[in-house]
Amino acid sequence: MKKISNYINGKLVAPKEGQYIDNYNPATGKVYSLIPNSTKSDVDDAIQAAKEAFNSWADLRNTERADWLEKISQGIENRMEELALAESTDNGKPLWLARSVDIPRAKDNFKFYSTAIRHYSSESHQTAEGVINYTLRKPVGVAACISPWNLPLYLFTWKIAPALAAGNTVVAKPSEITPMTAYLLSEICVEIGLPAGVLNIVHGLGHSAGNALISSDDIDLVSFTGGTATGAHIAKIVAPKFKKMSLELGGKNPNIIFDDCDFDKMLKTTLNSSFANQGQICLCGSRILIQRGIYQKFKEAFVEKVKKMKVGNPLNEDSRLGAIVSKPHYEKILSYIEIAKEEGGKILAGGHAVHLDGEQSEGWYIAPTIIEGLDQQCRTNQEEIFGPVVTIQPFDTEEEAITLANSTEYGLAATIWTSDLSRAHRLGNEVESGIIWINCWLLRDLRTPFGGVKNSGVGREGGWEALNFFTEPKNVCIKY
Ligand code: NAD
């Protein structure tokens, strides 16, 4: 069975205590590889390597670091198909999705920051005649980057690329549930000869390897994407040490549909925004709010289309949905469907596991599920399920839509469908959310600020926001 390694100080190494964790293929429910169960000692080695590499990496010109990032991007491009297959096998997502979205985006993350850092600049302020202020932007130090399982290489590289571009060295921990493409990334770094210690990748569990990383006094900042409870735990440890933190956390996103929208475009996109990646994208709209005038029409059309969405082997081109990432997560989603029923929800589509034949018979599959008849305050509409489960609720007025949209503890993303330009702007302003999509969904521009408000997180990724986060500003005032 394939055993993957940590990547520490430029080398692929086994965990010091020789312990490994089973890695499952969600499509078959079977263990297919082993990953290091790293301990504090492995993490400390990685941090030490990153500390030692820091000065020479930070001292490189921006253009030299940019060249390294381009080489990594090229390395990903060269192994695109292998990475896509690895991502699909590890995560359960359709291979076509990994091939068209996840891996190209990981390549683009390095490409984007290799160019962004060439153009990055700092400010200077003329205060008075003979007085000038200028701001230096220095790399912070050793960056701890921790990512989740839903978009494994895509989100892992979204942190690593700007951290390295800005001159930090990195210790990164991918999710233990989807470690394979992070491992392949470390192979790419070895192949291209990235200087030792600049990037270190340590595999292992959150409460051991992850916790050792964020608890270390020798890291200088934390960039984390994952669940809100984990984010709160990390903040408790990191905040009293006054280290920089960026926390990208959970969501319960509204998808607000007005009578006057372009119905066909909305319906097509809503199928995606509800169920892409089995509903396991932090930006998916899991609460669909529909103005009463088109509620019935929407419900009938949506249910009909969702019932036809094929759940199948992720390797098949015609599978619209693949497998759920892990058995615990699969059980969690099914338990939420039971909660919805207990709360009085009516299942309009799905609502059950899907059992495939042959090699996939032990895999974890759930039918795309639509639930109706629940009020906004119930658990189903308040808690993040993070699976192929949406609720639909009618509303009458714009004010009611805004109240419903804002009545959760989260505020990551919201989608609004209307052809009334003024209303679109009003809602864009009123809905409490870090990201608003109007008449579209997941149309990404890597220059834009990305992140949430309320319990969806602190800080922003993307564009200059990330480069600002990964640098420390220092103001110099000079009188001449
Ligand atoms: P998670 O919080 O369980 O794990 C995320 C990462 O944190 C993993 O690498 C894990 O090993 C690590 N971790 C766990 N405990 C830790 C600890 N004590 N110390 C340090 N590290 C620890 O989240 P998950 O289940 O992997 O991901 C799903 C969640 O991520 C959902 O809530 C989803 O909304 C969120 N998410 C948010 C965004 C965003 O941009 N806001 C993007 C994707 C996913």
The pick from 37, 38, 105, 146 for probing ligand 1's pocket by mutation, whose C-beta has the most ligand atoms within 8 angstroms, reads 146
Digit-coded pLDDT (tens) for 266-303:
999 999 999 999 999 999 999 999 999 999 999 999 99
CA distances from 113 to 139, 165, 182, 225, 461 (A): 15, 6, 18, 19, 12
pLDDT at 89: 98
pLDDT at 166: 98
Q: Which residue ranges make up each domain of the chain?
A: 2-249+456-479, 253-445
The answer to whether domain 2-249+456-479 has CATH 3.40.605.10 is yes
| Residue 298, pLDDT score | 99
pLDDT confidence tier of residue 137, bands split at 50, 70 and 90: very high
Gap between the Cα atoms of 5 and 8, Å rounded: 9
Q: What is the pLDDT of residue 273?
A: 98
Mean pLDDT of the chain: 98
pLDDT for 179? 98
Predicted local confidence at residue 335, as pLDDT: 98
pLDDT of residue 211: 98
Cβ neighbours around 375 below 10 Å, total: 13
The pair of structure tokens assigned to 326 is: 């892990």
- 224 CA from centroid of ligand 1 (Å): 7
Q: Quick one: DSSP state of residue 338?
A: H
Per-residue confidence at 219, pLDDT binned at 50, 70, 90?
very high
Q: In the prediction, which pLDDT does 358 show?
A: 97
* Ligand 1 and 461: CB distance under 6 A: no
What integer pLDDT is reported at residue 423 of this predicted model? 98
Q: Is 248 a catalytic residue?
A: yes
Give the per-residue pLDDT at 352: 98
- Active site annotation includes 282: yes
Span 392-403, average pLDDT: 98
Q: Residue 5's pLDDT band (boundaries 50, 70, 90)? A: very high
pLDDT at residue number 40:
98
- Interhelix angle 62-78/152-165, rounded to 10 degrees, is 160
Predicted confidence band of residue 230 (pLDDT cuts 50, 70, 90): very high
* Residue pointed to by tokens 């993303």: 413
Residue tagged active-site, from 87, 176, 248, 384: 248
| In the chain, % of residues over pLDDT 70 | 100
State the average pLDDT over residues 158-170: 99
Residue appearing with tokens 């199948």: 312
pLDDT in tens, 236-259: 999 999 999 999 999 999 999 999
CA distance 149 to 171: 17
State the pLDDT at residue 262. Answer: 98
Which superfamily does CATH assign the domain made up of 253-445 to? Aldehyde Dehydrogenase; Chain A, domain 2 (3.40.309.10)
Supply the residue whose CA is at minimum distance from atom 36 of ligand 1.
226
CA dihedral (83, 367, 275, 294) in degrees, to 10, reads 160
Spatial contact of 124 and 132, defined as CB atoms under 8 Å apart: yes
Tokens of 226: 């994952």
pLDDT, residue 459, reads 97
What local confidence, expressed as pLDDT, does residue 422 receive? 98
CA distance 366 to 355: 8
Reported as a single tens digit per residue, the pLDDT across 422-477 is: 999 999 999 999 999 999 999 999 999 999 999 999 999 999 999 999 999 999 99
For ligand 1, is residue 364 a contact (CB within 6 Å)?
Answer: no
| pLDDT tier for residue 176 given thresholds of 50, 70 and 90 | very high
pTM of the full predicted structure?
0.98
- Within 8 A by CB and 6+ apart from 300, the residues are none
Phi, psi of 262 (to 5 degrees): -75, 100
295-318 pLDDT tens trace = 999 999 999 999 999 999 999 999
Short-list 128, 133, 130, CA closest to 479 = 130
> Are 91 and 125 within 8 A, CB to CB?
no
- pLDDT (0 to 100) of residue 415: 98
Q: How far apart are CA 419 and CA 261, in angstroms?
A: 5
Buried b (16+ CB within 10 A) or exposed e, 212-225: bbbebeebbbbbbb
pLDDT confidence bin for 96, thresholds 50/70/90: very high
CA distances from 151 to 158, 177, 225, 348, 457 (A): 10, 11, 11, 28, 18
Predicted pLDDT of residue 98: 98
Q: How many A from CA of 226 to the centre of ligand 1?
A: 2
